[in-house]
Amino acid sequence: MFKIYNTLTSRKEVFKPLNRSLVRMYVCGPTVYDKTHIGHAKAYVAFDVLRRYLEFKGYNVLKVVNITDIDDKIIRKSIELKVDYREIADKYCKDFMEACEKLNIKRAHIYPKATEHIEEIINIIKELIEKGYAYESDGNVYFDVKKFKDYGKLSKINVEQVKPQDEGVGKRNPQDFALWKKAKPMEPYWDSPWGPGRPGWHIECSAMSSKYLGKQFDIHGGGEDLIFPHHENEIAQSEACFNKTPWVKYWIHVGLLMMGKDKMSKSYGNIITVEEITSKYSPMKVRFYLISGHYRSQMVFQEENLEATGAAYERILNTISTLKSISTIDVKVKDSSLKRIMNIGRIRRRFLEALDDDLNTPKAIAELHSLTNFANDEIIPNEDYPAARIALKVYEDAYRILGVFKEVFEEEEVREDKKLYELVNLLVTVRQIHRSRREWEVADLIARGLRSLGIELSDQKDKTIWWFKST
Amino acid sequence: MFKIYNTLTSRKEVFKPLNRSLVRMYVCGPTVYDKTHIGHAKAYVAFDVLRRYLEFKGYNVLKVVNITDIDDKIIRKSIELKVDYREIADKYCKDFMEACEKLNIKRAHIYPKATEHIEEIINIIKELIEKGYAYESDGNVYFDVKKFKDYGKLSKINVEQVKPQDEGVGKRNPQDFALWKKAKPMEPYWDSPWGPGRPGWHIECSAMSSKYLGKQFDIHGGGEDLIFPHHENEIAQSEACFNKTPWVKYWIHVGLLMMGKDKMSKSYGNIITVEEITSKYSPMKVRFYLISGHYRSQMVFQEENLEATGAAYERILNTISTLKSISTIDVKVKDSSLKRIMNIGRIRRRFLEALDDDLNTPKAIAELHSLTNFANDEIIPNEDYPAARIALKVYEDAYRILGVFKEVFEEEEVREDKKLYELVNLLVTVRQIHRSRREWEVADLIARGLRSLGIELSDQKDKTIWWFKST
C-alpha cells in the first residue's frame, strides 16, 4: 500500500486514484527566463520518481508539466536584451528539456505552454466573473479572495494575515490576485473582453490542467515555495469555477534546495545550473545525490556531500558490473544459494516498503547499500550466480523506479549489441588494410570517426585493439 | 488480485506466495533426446508469461527449470547412434536453450541437470527407505505407493485403478514406481548404496527443487500430461520425505498442443520443431499464436490459424510503429485527448483484469485488438500525440508481460541508436572512397560485412543508400 503525504490534509494517505483507469498528475513546470538550476532539478527528479513508482506499481499515469512562457521576468529579460520575449522563452524551454533529459527524467505526456492557451484562460476568467468570484477593474481582472470561503485551506493561512498580492490598482481587497493583467506599454499582449493584456501567473494552471486532465484530478505538485500563493490561488479559482471539491485529491510538495540559509534561486544569485554541475559530475551521480534526501525535506547543497554520494554510487555500479559477469556463469550450483536469495528478497521488500512509505528514497537507497555490501561479502566471493541474477533484478527495479544506474542497464544494450561490435570490427579491419598499405589518410578518417563515437583505438604491432571510452 | 487455477484444489485461487520476499517456481523442463517442438514451446511460453506477469506485479521470482539429461530415451538414442549419452544430451540441451531464446522466453535462474545431482538424489532415496516409504529390490529401489495415504490427490486417481508403472521386478505393488534403476549392461551408471544404477525419472525433481527452492515452495508446473504419473509421484516422494503438506502450493498445468486428435509428440511422429516453424514464421508470430488460446486449453495446431494470427499480429506492429511516429509530435494539442486517454485506460484495465483471471491471454489479446482498432479509428487520424504516448505504454506493458512485440520495442534501441547509424555511415563513406578509386576488393569486403549484419546497400549514381533489412 503506497502512502503519500498530502499537503492539503497534512498527513500521509493511502494513494487511491479518482479513476481506476488513470492517474492524472500535474506538475508546475518552469518559468522559462533562465537556465534550469539544480534547485529546480531536485523537484523535477522527485516527481519523476513518483511517476516511475506509480508506473512500477502498475498504474497508468498521465503527466502534464506546464511551461510558463509569458511572465514579468521573461518580459523584463526580453526588454533588457532587446529581443522578442519568445526568443527568451524558447531558449530556456530548450534548456529545461535538455536538463530533464540529462537527468533521466521521463518525458511528460504533455508540456502545454501558457501562450498557446490564452483562449482557454480567457474562458475561465469569464466564468469566474459571471459567477461573481472575479471582477474587472480598469483592464485588469482580479480574483476576490473573500468570496471563496475555503481560501487558505492548503497553506493554512488566514486570509486577513495575507500580505497584499500583486501590485495593481482598483482591488477590492489587498489580498486579491490578478487573473488578467492589463498590458503596459511595450509589453506583449493578447486581446480580451477586458482589453489588451496577458494572463496572471496562477490562472494558466487551472486552464491547462482542466483541459488535459479534466476538472478534477489526482496529483498536483511543485516546490514547497509554490504552496502559497500559487497553489492556494489555483485552488480558489479552480474550485470556484469547476464546482469540484477537492479539485485535486493529493497535493505534493518538494522541499527546497538550500545554499546555506537561502533557497537556491536566481534572485539570490546563488544558483548552480544543471549544465554546470553535470559538466563536473555525471548526470546520474547528480540525480542520485538529489534523491539521497527525502523529497519533502530541504537539502543544503554541499559539494562534499555530492562527492561522497558519488563515490558510494560508483561502488554500486562496480558491484552491478561484477554481478553481471558472475551471472553468466552456468554450472552446477556449489552450495544452495536459497538462503542468500531469500536474504536478497528481504532487502528488496524493505526497499519497496521504504518507497511505499511516502517515497522514502534515503531509506530505499540505504537498502541498496545493504544489498551492495551483501553482494560483495557473500554473492561475489562465492560466485553464486543464481543469487547474482536475483540481485541484478533488484538493481534493475531500482533503475526503473529511481532512474539511476542507467550506465549499467541502458549501456548494456548498446555495449552488448552484437551489431555494434561487428561494425567496429569491420571498420578496424578496413583501417588495418589501409595501414598496411600506408594509406594514412583513410586510416585517420576511420580513427577520427570512431573516436568521435567514444571508441578508442590502440595500434599494436600487428593489430589494433579498441574499447569504449568510459565516461 | 491475481487468480490462478490450481490443479491440486481444482479451482481458481488468489495467488499468495508462501513467503512475501520470493515466489519460488519450478517448471519441468525437457528430456533432452530430440529437438524442441512447438508442443513443448506452448508450455514453456505459458510459464514464461506467468513469470513475466508475476514480475510485472512486483513479485520477486526465482525460476528453476530442470534438464533431464539421463533417461531411457536418451540411452536408446545413444546406443542407436553409437555415441556417448552426454553427446546426445548436450546437443538437445543446446537446441532447447536456442528455442527458448528465439521465442523470447526469459532465462530461468537455474537449469539444474539430473546427472549433476546424483548425490542429492541418492540422499533422498536413502531417507525414503529409512522412513519406510521405499524399498530396495535386487538393485532397484521402488516407492511403495500404498504407504503414502494421499496418493492420487493431484490427479484424483484411485491407487487401485492405476495401471502398473515402470517395468521392473520385485515390486510390492504393481503401481509402485522406480526411484533407482539398476544398471543394465552397456548403460551409463552411478555407484549407489544399492549398486550401480541411475535415478528414476521422478526423483530428480524432488531432489533439485528442494535444493534450489527449499522443501516447500509456491509453483510447480508442466504440461497436463505430467499430472499423472510424474507429478503425482513427485508429491508422494516429496511429502513423504520432507514432511511438508502441501509440498507445493500451486500446481499449474498447460493444455497440450494437438495434431488433430493426437498430442504433438515424438512418439506419434507428428512433431513440428521450433526450428522448422521459425524458419517459416517469425518467432514472435509463433509466440503470439501459442498464447492466442488459454494456457489451460488444448490447442489444435492449424497452420491457417497461425497465418491468420500472424496477420493480426502484423497489424498491431504497424499500428505501434505509426503511434511511435505520432508520439514525437509536440505541438499544442488540438482538442482535448482526455476522453481518448480515459478510454485507453479502460482498455488497459480490462487487459490486466483478463490476466488477473487465470492468465486469460486470449481475452487480453482481444483487448489489444480493441486498442489497435481504437488507435486506427481515433488516435492516428487525429494525430493525438498524448493519447498515442499512453497507448504505446499499454503496448509496452504487453511487451513486458506477454513477451511479444519485441520487434518494435527492442529494436528501437538498436535502430535508433545513434552510434550504430554513425558507424554504418562511416563504413559507407569509407567504401565510397574505395569505389571512387575502383578498389573493388575492399568495397566488397565492407558490403559483405554490412549485409551479414542485415544492412542492405544500394549504390546510386554518386552515393550509396542503406537500410536495415526487415526480417
Best of A379, A406, A423, A431 to disrupt the B interface by mutation (most B CBs within 10 Å)? A423
For chain A, give every domain's residue range: 3-130+202-283, 302-409, 418-468
Nearest residue of A to residue B391 by CA position?
A60
Best of B61, B97, B341 to disrupt the A interface by mutation (most A CBs within 10 Å)? B341
List all residues 6 or more positions away from B9 whose beta carbon is below 8 Å from its beta carbon. none
Residue with cell 533489412: B469
* Nearest C-alpha neighbor of A206 from the set A242, A256, A177, A176: A242
Q: What average pLDDT score do residues B188-202 get?
A: 96
Best of B18, B19, B20, B21 to disrupt the A interface by mutation (most A CBs within 10 Å)? B21
Q: B174-194 pLDDT, tens per residue?
A: 999 999 999 999 899 999 999
Rounded Cα–Cα distance for residues A412 and B417 (Å): 12
Q: Do A22 and B342 touch (CB under 8 A)?
A: yes
Query: What percent of the residues of chain B are helix, what percent strand, and what percent coil, each to the nearest 5?
Result: 50, 15, 30
The CATH number for B3-280, chosen from 3.40.50.620, 3.40.50.12710, 3.30.160.270, 2.30.130.60, is 3.40.50.620
Rounded Cα–Cα distance for residues B434 and B286 (Å): 43
Of A22, A212, A429, the CB nearest to B336: A212
Rounded Cα–Cα distance for residues A419 and B382 (Å): 37
Q: Do B20 and A446 touch (CB under 8 A)?
A: no
Do A428 and A422 touch, CB atoms closer than 8 A?
no
Do B325 and B379 touch, CB atoms closer than 8 A?
no
Burial B106-127, CB ≥16 within 10 A → b, else e: eebbbbbbbbebbebbbebbbe
Span A302-409 CATH architecture: Up-down Bundle (1.20)
pLDDT score, position A11: 98
Q: Do B446 and A430 touch (CB under 8 A)?
A: yes
pTM here is 0.88
Per residue of chain A (471 residues), give pLDDT as tens. Answer: 999 999 999 999 999 999 999 999 999 999 999 999 999 999 999 999 999 999 999 999 999 999 999 999 999 999 999 999 999 999 999 999 999 999 999 999 999 999 999 999 999 999 999 999 999 999 999 999 999 999 999 999 998 888 877 777 789 999 999 999 999 998 999 999 999 999 999 999 999 999 999 999 999 999 999 999 999 999 999 999 999 999 999 999 999 999 999 999 988 999 999 999 999 999 999 999 999 999 999 999 999 999 999 999 999 999 999 999 888 887 788 766 899 999 999 999 999 999 999 999 999 999 999 999 999 999 999 989 999 999 999 999 999 999 999 998 885 444 445 677 788 888 888 888 888 888 888 888 898 888 888 788 888 776 777 777 654
Contacts of B56 in chain A (CB under 8 A): 58
Contacts of A212 in chain B (CB under 8 A): 333, 336-338, 386
Angle between helices A72-81 and A85-102 (to 10 degrees): 110
Nearest residue of B to residue A61 by CA position?
B390
Nearest residue of A to residue B112 by CA position?
A332
Q: Is the dihedral of CA B73, B77, B80, B82 positive or negative?
A: negative
Q: Does domain A3-130+202-283 have CATH number 3.30.420.10?
A: no
Of A414, A430, A453, the CB nearest to B445: A430
Distances (CA, A) of B326 to A108, A211, A341, A387, B73: 15, 20, 44, 42, 55
Q: Do A62 and B341 touch (CB under 8 A)?
A: yes
Rounded Cα–Cα distance for residues B235 and B222 (Å): 14
Of B333, B423, B446, the CB nearest to A420: B423
Nearest residue of B to residue A416 by CA position?
B414
What does DSSP assign to residue A22?
A: B
Give chain A's radius of gyration (CA, Å). 27
Nearest-CA distance A57 → chain B (Å): 7
Best of B52, B242, B333, B422 to disrupt the A interface by mutation (most A CBs within 10 Å)? B333
Contacts of A57 in chain B (CB under 8 A): 58
Could you tell me the three cell numbers for B221? 508446473
Q: Do A349 and B21 touch (CB under 8 A)?
A: yes
Cα angle at A391 between A386 and A397, to 5 degrees? 130
Query: What percent of the residues of chain A are helix, what percent strand, and what percent coil, each to the nearest 5?
Result: 50, 15, 30
Beta bridge pairs of residue B258? B263, B300
Q: Do B21 and A424 touch (CB under 8 A)?
A: no
Q: Do B110 and A386 touch (CB under 8 A)?
A: yes
Contacts of A429 in chain B (CB under 8 A): 445, 449
